């Protein structure tokens, strides 16, 4: 197996909670990411899924060092970038780019599309001369399905899907190795979502990209990803090949998330009736003791309230953090103790 492009070890990202205006005192912390480890192989697409507030977007920002982690480490292409200063991050900044959720707010409304897509060339002092830069930007526009003739237009003159294409063109301008796409289609109409997903898939195979796709929508990661990591309250609770996660979820939380995915055929929906996730995600400032999912888990037993389950390999290669994982092929209601 090739060396991972991204290696995350025991990553923690805590945001301090403070009181007072002049003499600020810390009285707690939001544990957005609380000790997660995973790797991403070159050319792989990893999906990170979970409900809002589970820490998935914070994880993505730590990967690109847009946030400096509180603890643990992030290695990119064999180099530890966890606490590097701006200079030390130059290589990461060139080779790892982000596609943001909201194409409306991630583009400067005062700049033309040509100037926006050319930004990475300028920032990284790879500015070509006028005509050459224009030609490259036009090629990028063409590559992502935008009309190169619209080079001098402004973001407000484009639709939501087109604006996301502008963001993708900017992200691939420097031919990065890694793209982190944070909810890349959640702000778009359903009819447009598939086009953007297809575009990202095409770019991955053409450019040999490695992708990390962050989404609350399981149907998005199902289409795109080789492997899926499910997060809950700052921790990874299940990780496996994408197909396995969908066919044989082992963690009750994954099972509940899958239950929430709409099924177009009502007969299938009835046959596959499962537990529906109730309640909100508890506060990451004070996660529940034991298994963090136990207040909402349909499989919870006494032990779950006191003993924190660790991520461990189950038969079939799935990693799950659960004392009573679902039996292969079963959904909620079929928990088995394999400890």
**Is residue 235 close enough to count as binding ligand SF4 by CB under 6 A?**
no
Is the CB of 213 or the CB of 304 nearer to ligand SF4?
A: 304
The reply to whether 232 sits near ligand SF4 by the rule CB under 6 A is no
Shortest separation between residue 256's beta carbon and ligand SF4, angstroms? 10
Beta-carbon contacts of 184 under 8 Å, excluding residues fewer than 6 positions away, are 99, 101, 164, 196, 197, 200, 213, 215, 220
Specify the residue, 95 or 338, whose C-beta has the smaller distance to ligand SF4.
338
Q: Which helix (H) or strand (E) holds 282?
A: none
Complex with ligand SF4: residue 176 or 309, whichever CB lies closer: 309
CB of 46 to ligand SF4, least distance (A): 22
Task: Give the span between the Cα atoms of 255 and 147, in whole angstroms.
Answer: 43
* Nearest-angstrom CA–CA distance, 274 and 208: 39
Q: Which is nearer to ligand SF4, 170 or 294 (CB)?
A: 294
231 counts as binding ligand SF4 under rule CB under 6 A? no
309 binds ligand SF4 (CB under 6 A): yes
Min dist. Cβ of residue 233 to ligand SF4 (A): 11
Q: How many residues bind ligand SF4 (CB under 6 A)?
A: 14
Site for ligand SF4 in 236-295 (CB under 6 A): 251-252, 291, 293-294
Please pick, from the candidates 116, 323, 331, 332, the single residue that binds ligand SF4 as defined by CB under 6 A.
323
Alpha-carbon gap, residue 260 to 287, rounded angstroms: 23
Burial degree of 271 (CB within 10 A; 0-12, 13-18, 19+): exposed
SS (H, E, C) 284-331: CCCCCCCCCCHHHCCCCCHHHHCCCCCCEECCCCCEECCCCCECCCCC
Say whether residue 300 binds ligand SF4 (CB under 6 A).
yes
Would you say 184 or 335 has its CB closer to ligand SF4? 335
Q: Pairing between strand 96-99 and 25-40?
A: unpaired
- 3-state SS assignment for residue 155: helix
Least distance in Å: CB of 300 to ligand SF4?
4
Sequence-distant (≥ 6) Cβ neighbours of residue 279 within 8 angstroms: 295, 296
CB-based contact 237:293 (threshold 8 Å): yes
Residue 221 near ligand SF4 by CB under 6 A: no
Write out the residues near ligand SF4 by the rule CB under 6 A. 251-252, 291, 293-294, 297, 299-300, 304, 309, 322-324, 335
């Amino acid at each position: 197996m090739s060396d991972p492009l991204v290696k995350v070890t025991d990553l923690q990202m805590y945001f301090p909670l403070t009181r007072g205006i002049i003499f600020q005192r810390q009285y707690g912390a939001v544990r957005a990411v609380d000790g997660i480890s995973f790797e991403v192989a070159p050319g792989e697409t990893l999906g990170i899924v979970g409900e809002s507030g589970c820490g998935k977007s914070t994880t993505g920002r730590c990967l690109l060092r847009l946030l400096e982690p509180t603890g643990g480490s992030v290695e990119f292409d064999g180099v530890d970038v966890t606490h590097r200063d701006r200079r030390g991050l130059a290589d990461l900044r060139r080779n790892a780019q982000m596609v943001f959720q909201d194409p409306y707010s991630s583009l400067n409304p005062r700049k033309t599309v040509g100037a926006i897509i050319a930004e990475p060339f300028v920032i990284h002092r790879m500015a070509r001369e006028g005509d050459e830069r224009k030609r490259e930007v036009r090629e990028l526009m063409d590559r992502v399905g935008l009309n190169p003739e619209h080079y001098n237009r402004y973001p407000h003159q484009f639709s939501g899907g087109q604006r996301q294409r502008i963001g993708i063109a900017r992200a691939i301008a420097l031919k990065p190795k890694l793209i982190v796409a944070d909810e890349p289609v959640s702000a778009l109409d359903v009819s447009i979502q598939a086009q953007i997903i297809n575009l990202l898939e095409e770019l991955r195979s053409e450019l040999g990209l490695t992708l990390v796709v962050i989404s609350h929508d399981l149907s998005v990661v199902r289409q795109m990803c080789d492997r899926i990591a499910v997060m809950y309250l700052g921790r990874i609770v299940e990780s496996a090949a994408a197909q396995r996660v969908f066919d044989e979820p082992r963690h009750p939380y994954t099972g509940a998330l899958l239950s929430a995915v709409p099924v177009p055929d009502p007969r299938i929906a009835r046959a596959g009736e499962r537990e529906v996730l109730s309640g909100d995600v508890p506060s990451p400032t004070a996660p529940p003791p034991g298994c963090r999912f136990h207040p909402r888990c349909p499989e919870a037993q006494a032990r779950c309230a006191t003993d924190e389950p660790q991520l461990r390999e189950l038969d079939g290669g799935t990693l799950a953090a659960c004392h009573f994982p679902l039996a292969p092929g079963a959904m909620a209601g079929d928990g088995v103790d394999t400890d």
